[in-house]
Structure 1
């Protein structure tokens, strides 16, 4: 595959513009703002916001703690359910989860700012390095975790709380997974992902081995033989292709690679970006890539999606955010072929689509958009080797309600499994719940057998 943005220049903006464009999207509330925001909560007895949270944080409780001047107590309430509550406060689609369920979310009112209140509390705790959980008494059990993303880190921390030792294997140079490599830069500035990893690891008993890939450096069978249990938090490594003419031209890039490249860039002015950029897709990756292309200095950025606005996986809030940054979103357009000149992208031909009898079809009418860079954001797939005969369904690992796989003592969670939405907060919940299941399995295995009369 060609180098990202091959032949495309960067550095179109002044240094101050890069700093301004990639500043914190939603700065933390100050104390007065937090008190005002928390005072809007009704502290509902049935807490629909809590039910809507995949990690089931006691939202009314932590908001009440903030309202009474106890942000550290609020942070403990949050971290008890979601140890990555700091990042989730930044990247969770709260507008479709807890805030969507808020009883104040009406045509005449707006929901309580739950995400920003969560960030207020967790930031205070993390900046003061206030640790609320201690490692449990050593049990002698050692668990292998594959993947240092949200699911793997959450699982490891909960296991450490129970007194088990954990070895995390991760293929990348840094821990964090999606939080480090897949989140838009403006959503988690100031190296927050690594600060969160350091905060989590402070509990002790967790070792991370970077540059270790499943299927290359070890197999699942190896881990099962060497460790008391295994948790797979592999994420989605595969990127779906377009399967059209011109896809291999220079300037056609995977949006996930672009986002990761930008996150790791020391100097944003060196990140190559086209003048006319087209992003194909309708999810969060497409939105993040499009917005950041604009922030890097692209003159025209267009998202093309094959269905209607209401069908986009990206929330309406995120779509509006993209529009506010100057991104154009066009619907009912499917890529037909990529046009090239001298081996590089020159434009893209798209076909108008429509729904007929419930099926998406091409209308035969086409149009061309000039472009010198195209980002593919049409979904990711689970791609892994070294899993042996582990049961799979629709390209994902099959698990039960306790995150157990078809292989004894092997558990899995996050985007690689066959249930739940592909969200950071869902991955955290899977990792936490799998750790509880592993701990219970250890406890049951250590009980003496009961004689049957």
Structure 2
């Protein structure tokens, strides 16, 4: 964006390069060997451990922590990656406080869980740093599978299929693989280009080709893929961004948070990124928090998240909410936008307080305004351009069991498919499980549809 098009309050270079580098450093530095040993020694190694059940990919946390405790971290990494091939990224971005660590017996007894996420990162990072790929391909089957989307679901599906001897072609619309991991999470959660390093490492299994600039409905059709390949997996995520549906939302500097996070993640010079002095983010999920915190780190003076329901209804974890407030972000709940004011560019945004009534959320007559020179929408995404013939439910692809769609030979998983909770770890689980079902079908083995 050129300087001439910026409003007086939205400018690049609010902070010095040194200040930006400090702000965007690793938010959770890795454990060293001694710290990992101390953390691992706190595990009770529970039988029927609740942390395993709480993990969407069912990583055997007690086993891998015991392996760290006994001085075999590479074996620990193998245990993790066997369940979750993107275990390195998930160790960085999973809301562990709601999943494995939230279910930890130490959390229940003492209010301080075992550092499962940090230990997972310690093990997987150590193995990846050696350039070691712990899995080998089975004998070639001669079968070919098309995967649409190189995000977490597509990558997990492709790796598991390749490991079983199938040849996989991933069709990716963007110039880089990784999906949400590359384009959609806060920069301080995955520094040093980790998302691409993890993809490069994953591809060492062999048998996976990625073709970029390939978008379903544009350069690709589902019918053509079904005709050429033995199976198809759809993992293209959600491309559309929901509108505010508020008067004046087309004013300048009312943007979607997804694009803001994407541009920040791809920037090689943070001093070139324009940010407002008074920033308002609409939404209550992880995207809203990531956008708000990063606006603050770029130098915005006042950043406010506004969410239409109570704070306990925010989909962002309490840990993420606390991180936002600790970063200087204000959170206002029970308010919805009704109008964006300004002369060309936004200057204020008007809200109505909300109440939950018998028929759902209603706007009250009580109004207030917030000064804003930049507004980010983070109110969810939608599936655009779903192929004809696919059954949809709730705006997503309807699936049964391990990702089976209404079209024979076509599976789906990740954010584009119904179910799950829009987390990287859930997408990995869905891609992995679909791959197991695809392999069973290609091999002529029956598998329960509810598995």
Q: TM tier, shorter chain?
A: over 0.9
Asked whether the 8 Å contact 1:159–1:165 carries over to 2, the reply is yes
User: TM-score scaled by structure 1?
Assistant: 0.96
In structure 1, how many angstroms separate the alpha carbons of the residues matched to 2:118 and 2:348?
41
Match of 1:28 in 2: 30
Residues 286-345 of structure 1: per-residue CA shift (max 9 Å, x gap): 00000000000000000011111111111111000000000000111110100112x101
**Deviation of the 1:445 alpha carbon:** 7.2
Between Structure 1 and Structure 2, how many residues are aligned? 443
Asked whether the 8 Å contact 1:10–1:271 carries over to 2, the reply is yes
In structure 2, how many angstroms separate the alpha carbons of the residues matched to 1:383 and 1:96?
30
**Deviation of the 1:395 alpha carbon:** 1.1
Match of 1:86 in 2: 88
**Deviation of the 1:154 alpha carbon:** 0.3
**Deviation of the 1:6 alpha carbon:** 4.8
Residues 241-300 of structure 1: per-residue CA shift (max 9 Å, x gap): 011111111110000000000000110111110000000000000000000000000000
In structure 2, how many angstroms separate the alpha carbons of the residues matched to 1:369 and 1:107?
43
In structure 1, how many angstroms separate the alpha carbons of the residues matched to 2:251 and 2:152?
34
Match of 2:56 in 1: 54
> Over aligned residues, Cα RMSD in angstroms?
1.6
Change in CA separation of 1:394 and 1:124 when aligned onto 2, cut-off 3 Å: same
Residues 120-140 of structure 1: per-residue CA shift (max 9 Å, x gap): 000001111111101111111
**Deviation of the 1:442 alpha carbon:** 1.1
Change in CA separation of 1:22 and 1:98 when aligned onto 2, cut-off 3 Å: same
Change in CA separation of 1:240 and 1:164 when aligned onto 2, cut-off 3 Å: same
Residues 2-54 of structure 1: per-residue CA shift (max 9 Å, x gap): 99x95421101111101000000100000000000010000110110000000
**Deviation of the 1:107 alpha carbon:** 6.7
Match of 2:368 in 1: 367
Change in CA separation of 1:83 and 1:118 when aligned onto 2, cut-off 3 Å: same
Match of 2:406 in 1: 406
Match of 2:97 in 1: 95
In structure 1, how many angstroms separate the alpha carbons of the residues matched to 2:359 and 2:96?
30
In structure 2, how many angstroms separate the alpha carbons of the residues matched to 1:350 and 1:441?
53
Match of 2:449 in 1: none
In structure 1, how many angstroms separate the alpha carbons of the residues matched to 2:126 and 2:234?
32
Match of 1:353 in 2: 354
Match of 1:431 in 2: 431
In structure 2, how many angstroms separate the alpha carbons of the residues matched to 1:309 and 1:358?
20
Match of 1:267 in 2: 269
In structure 2, how many angstroms separate the alpha carbons of the residues matched to 1:319 and 1:326?
11
Which runs of structure 2 are paired with 1:117-196 in the superposition (5 Å)? 117-196=119-198
Asked whether the 8 Å contact 1:6–1:250 carries over to 2, the reply is no
In structure 2, how many angstroms separate the alpha carbons of the residues matched to 1:295 and 1:411?
40
Match of 1:450 in 2: none
Matched residue of 1:202: which SS? helix
Between 408-417 and 142-151, report the one with greater CA deviation: 408-417
Uncovered stretches (5+) of structure 2, i.e. residues with no partner: 447-451
In structure 2, how many angstroms separate the alpha carbons of the residues matched to 1:419 and 1:2?
41
Residues 53-84 of structure 1: per-residue CA shift (max 9 Å, x gap): 00001110000000011110000000000000
Give yes or no for the alignment of 1:326 onto 2:343.
no
Asked whether the 8 Å contact 1:55–1:428 carries over to 2, the reply is yes
**Deviation of the 1:100 alpha carbon:** 0.6
**Deviation of the 1:418 alpha carbon:** 1.1
Q: 1:336 aligns with which of 324, 335, 338?
A: 338
Match of 2:244 in 1: 242
Matched residue of 1:346: which SS? strand
Change in CA separation of 1:203 and 1:108 when aligned onto 2, cut-off 3 Å: closer
In structure 2, how many angstroms separate the alpha carbons of the residues matched to 1:361 and 1:408?
42
Give yes or no for the alignment of 1:296 onto 2:305.
no
Uncovered stretches (5+) of structure 1, i.e. residues with no partner: 447-453
In structure 1, how many angstroms separate the alpha carbons of the residues matched to 2:129 and 2:159?
19
**Deviation of the 1:350 alpha carbon:** 0.7
**Deviation of the 1:362 alpha carbon:** 1.7
User: TM-score scaled by structure 2?
Assistant: 0.96
